[in-house]
Structure 1
Amino acid sequence: MRTTQRDGTVVVIGAGPFGLSAAAHLLARGVPTRTFGDPMASWRDAMPRGMLLKSTPAASAIDAPRPGHTLVDYCEAAGEQRYESDWDVVPVETFTRYGEWFQRRLVPDLERDRVVSVDLRPRGGFEVKLDSGEVCAARAVVVATGLTGCAYVPPELARAASDGPSPGAAVSHSSQHRDPARFAGRDLLVVGAGQSALETAVLAAEAGAASVRVVARGRRAVGFGAPPDHQPRLRPESPFGRAWSLYGMTYHADAFRRLPGPVRHELVRRVLGPLGAWWLRERFTGRVGVTQGVRVLGARTVADGRVRLTTSDGPGLEADHIIAATGYRPDLAALDFLGPGLRAALARTGTSPHLGPGYRSSVPGLHFTGLSAAATYGPVMRFVVGTQYASHRLATALARPSPHPPPHGSSGEVRGRWGRG
């Protein structure tokens, strides 16, 4: 086991858009930084071939500390098709290559070692253990692990897969399917009403699935957004469309942080919720069946290896496989590399860390960005465009460390110097 002592170092865990953006800003400010992760791994390995980004090209730029690193800049440098208009739709493969290019230019010393554990040191700071056997000291740690470990399958569906949701079981999660062609000739049910569900269903149908049906739960109804020329003109622009609420949540996330916890949680759940992209409607209509406004009661295997989905509406639906396109839910329990003592010391808002200014948690020196920050800073943290708000604020906080409040307890909402929980 090798031990390195560089107490002034900041460690960034994660090499997706939020991790790379945070690391680039820290390095640009001269902060000694080590970044660990597989660049763009979730985008490369957990998104289906042929997927197109719902976000516009401008909202798909990873925030950089200096000009010249947008998606358009990458396309020009690589000699690829330019994506710059709100009418342009970006392939996931292009976006993945863009993120890898961003990494090579701005975070060139990225280390692909996996972080095994992070623990508090007795005299302050952190001890970070790697799968290579190295143990390094860090004065601060930034957790930017994105979607890793956050795939959510409702319990009423998960029970149908005895060994857990997987492509070979009766039920899987949408993130477990890279190749839609695996469903050729099969009957498929997709549970969900958001972009992931609708696009998964379309890609499977286009790849030759025998039949595909989307099941939208509860009050959800399958719908699609408005194209760029149908946006309201008298409302401010945001990366998500023209609306005062979207503008505020995008550019004033610190104000969102000060809302009461139950209000924040409801807004994160509801705002920018299940809705297909405008460009998907034509491909969806007439190709995918829809059952909507039902409550899913459970799923079980039946004869011939098929699976039956039981709903509140009628006798149920049968298929060869069920995909839960039910999104991602951040959960501190999934971050098992954080030592038990460290997790116990974290103040929480729901199942996420409660954060203060500069994206810092209640544990001095431990920061979170990306999906884990959404419960505090709002739904913009679920999207790449959130790097524009988060990264320079996080880097500023770490470049000029300010006194941290003492750690709070691990449950409930926090009240105090950070504003209302």
Structure 2
Amino acid sequence: MHDLVVVGAGPYGLSIAAHAAAAGLDVRVLGRPMASWRDHMPDGMYLKSEPWASDLSSPGAGVTLGAWAAANGLPAEHGTPLPIGAFTRYGLWFAERLPVPVEERTVTAVVPDGRGFTVETADGEAVRTRNVALAIGVMPFVHLPGALRELPVGLASHSSDHRDLARFRDRDVVVLGAGQAALETAALLAEGGARPVVLARAGEVRWNTVPVPLGRGALAKLRAPHSGLGIGWSSWAWSNMPGAVRLLPAGARARIAETALGPAGAWWLRERVEGVVPVRLGLRVVRAVGSDAGVRLDLAAATGPGVRESVEADHVIAATGFDPDLRRLRVLDAGLREELRTVRGTWAPELDAGFESSRPGLFFAGLLTAPVFGPSMRFVHGAAYTASRLVAGVRRRMDAGTGARPARVPRPAVARTREAGGVRSAAARGEGAGTGA
């Protein structure tokens, strides 16, 4: 029986594996490395987070994004957007350097088994383990507006469904949403010869400001400190104090996870959208039906009753983020899902300081943990905090069963306090590139 099986091999899963191996655990990692980034983001997208705030985490030295970029002759500089493809290659390089192999296998079920678990794979193996860390990324939690769910296949999709947008050339496409995913998808569509229109409930499009320099005076830093999630005291708190967020009342945590660091477009994207892509605001879709032209959307004012107008298009892409809903996690045994305690007012699992759920030995990472630890868990930046504390939680769980004193868990070799610019990672509902677990 293994000490730990990590399900998922995105930034969170790989970081957990690195810390677990360094702590001497018998660990296996199951999943396709960087799957969300490799398979669900179109060519031409850029990382919205600052490169220095997008490191995967390891107790070892020399595995930062900056180190990888320097070794490969690529710029990874503050205020310079990095292509998603480069970040993906960095993640794959990180995976190759792990002291344990990443097994590209599909997990079909996680089932309680005595005092541990059995992890079943699509190729028929049943892996027994004392502990499981579910770092399954965002794809199980895709949010598609209700009005689109009854449309015939081929007329509507989610922004994460598209690795290649070339098939929409010369077609009319409605993009729903006002965050980075919607705006960048619309820009790429226009640049690829499609005719996109952005529709959003929001009354305005928010744009991040150009990042301020890393080197600032002491007073400027005091007024608006930098952090891995952006500039300002609230961003600093979400970035540096996830453990303190966990101590807040459940309702406050849920509101913070839902609303903090809301939808906004990157500063470098603005000129590719404004004056290029029509953006219509203050509208919601009340009905969507197939038509001779493709799909017809009946629209109403975001806050008012009744259909105001209709638009037609060949296709609708919903860039509407992801919902951290435990009920959608079908890989987890149904009975186990139902027994887990959840954060009041949400369908996210309640967790202790070591990311352990109410079921001993079952740990969570990534988007599902945002209603407990705050918005940093929606972004790659949260992987370092998660990995070290989750592995410490696994060790405590194992030591509790033996009566041994808790072992010291290695921490990252360099504890860096770095400064970021005003560019934030993806926004509400776990939207965008920062969510890979």
- Preserved CA contact (<8 Å) 2:296 2:310: no
Partner of 1:229, secondary structure, is coil
The Cα of 1:237 is off from its aligned counterpart by: 1.0
**Which residue does 1:251 correspond to in 2?**
240
1:152 maps to what in 2? 143
Task: Pick the aligned partner of 2:132 from 113, 138, 141.
Answer: 141
- Given residue 228 of structure 2, which amino acid in structure 1 is its aligned partner? P
Q: Kindly provide the amino acid, as one letter, of the partner of residue 75 in structure 2.
A: R
Q: TM-score, normalised by structure 2?
A: 0.85
Partner of 1:27: 21
Task: Give the aligned residue type for 2:205.
Answer: V
Which deviations, in whole Å up to 9, do the C-alpha atoms of 1:346-389 show, x marking residues without a partner? 11121111111100000000000111111111110010000121
1:266 to 255, 266, 291: 255
Deviations 1:212-259 (A, max 9, x none): 211111x45212101113896522111222211111111111111122
| Partner residue, 2:193 | 208
Matches within 5 A, 1:57-68: 57-68=51-62
**AA partner of residue 10 (structure 1):** L
User: Mapping of 1:309-388 within 5 angstroms?
Assistant: 309-312=298-301, 314-349=308-343, 350-388=346-384
| Pick aligned residue for 2:161 from 176, 198, 216 | 176
Shift of 1:108: 4.1
Counterpart Cα distance in 1 of 2:52 and 2:165: 28
SS in 2 for 1:197: helix
Counterparts in 2 of 1:107 and 1:278: CA distance versus 1, 3 Å: farther
1:220-299 equivalent positions in 2, closer than 5 A: 220-229=203-212, 233=221, 234-299=223-288
Whole-angstrom CA distance in 2 between matches of 1:220 and 1:135: 51
Mapped pair 1:102 → 2:94: yes
C-alpha contact (below 8 Å) 1:26/1:399 kept by paired residues: no
Say yes or no: does 1:117 pair with 2:109: yes
Change (3 A) 1:107 1:274: farther
The number of equivalent residue pairs is 387
Alignment counterpart, residue 191 of structure 1, candidates 155, 168, 176: 176
Tell me the distance in 1 between the aligned counterparts of 2:40 and 2:279. 25
SS at match of 2:289: strand
- The offset of 1:260, in angstroms, is 1.9
1:56 corresponds to which of 37, 50, 54? 50
Q: Higher RCO, 1 or 2 (CA under 8 Å, sep at least 6)? A: 2
Select 1:43's aligned residue among 15, 37, 41.
Answer: 37
Q: Please say if residues 187 and 320 of structure 1, whose CA atoms lie closer than 8 Å, have aligned partners that are also in contact.
A: yes
Q: What is the aligned partner in structure 2 of residue 132 from structure 1?
A: 123
Q: 2-side partners of 1:89 and 1:67: how far apart?
A: 24
Q: Is the 8 A contact 1:9 1:137 kept in 2?
A: no
Using the TM superposition, name which of 186-195 and 112-121 deviates more: 112-121
Contact persistence 1:190–1:212 (CA under 8 A): yes
Superposition deviation, residue 68 in structure 1:
0.5
Give the letter aligned to residue 271 of structure 1.
Answer: A
Partners of 1:11 and 1:243 in 2: CA distance: 38
Structure 1 residues without counterparts, runs of 5 or longer:
1-5, 405-421
Q: Structure 1 residue 314: deviation in Å?
A: 3.0
Matched residue, 1:82: 75
Alpha carbons of structure 1 residues 191 and 107: separation in structure 2 relative to 1, 3 Å: farther
CA distance in 2 between partners of 1:223 and 1:293 (Å) = 14
Could you tell me how far apart the structure 2 residues matched to 1:94 and 1:200 are? 18
Contact 1:307 1:321 in 2 (8 A): no
TM-score (normalised: structure 1): 0.88
Q: Is the 2:288–2:295 contact (alpha carbons within 8 Å) kept by the matching residues of 1?
A: no
Q: Is the 8 A contact 1:194 1:276 kept in 2?
A: yes
Amino acid at match of 1:212: P
2:44 alignment partner, SS class: coil
Shift in CA distance, 107/94, structure 1 to aligned 2, threshold 3 Å: farther
Q: Is the 8 A contact 1:191 1:324 kept in 2?
A: yes
| Pairwise CA distance, 1:37 | 0.3
Give the superposed CA RMSD.
1.8
Change (3 A) 1:208 1:356: same
Paired residue type of 1:308: L
Of residues 58, 61, 72, the one that matches 2:66 is 72
2:289 paired with 1:300: yes
CA distance in 1, matches of 2:281, 2:129: 50
Secondary structure in 1 matching 2:190: helix
Q: CA deviation at 1:74?
A: 1.2
Render the CA deviation track for 1:301-341: whole Å, top value 9, x for unaligned.
22233433423373122211111000011222222121122
Give the letter for the 1:222 counterpart: V
Superimposed CA distance per residue, residues 21-61 of structure 1 (whole angstroms, 9 cap, x where no aligned partner)? 00100001101101100000110000011000110101111
CA distance in 2, matches of 1:76, 1:281: 28
Which residue of 2 is the match for residue 416 of structure 1?
Answer: none
d(CA) in 2 for partners of 1:324, 1:121: 39
Opposite residue 185 of structure 2, the aligned amino acid is: T
DSSP 3-state at the match of 1:385: helix
Amino acid at match of 2:188: L
SS of 2:200's partner is strand
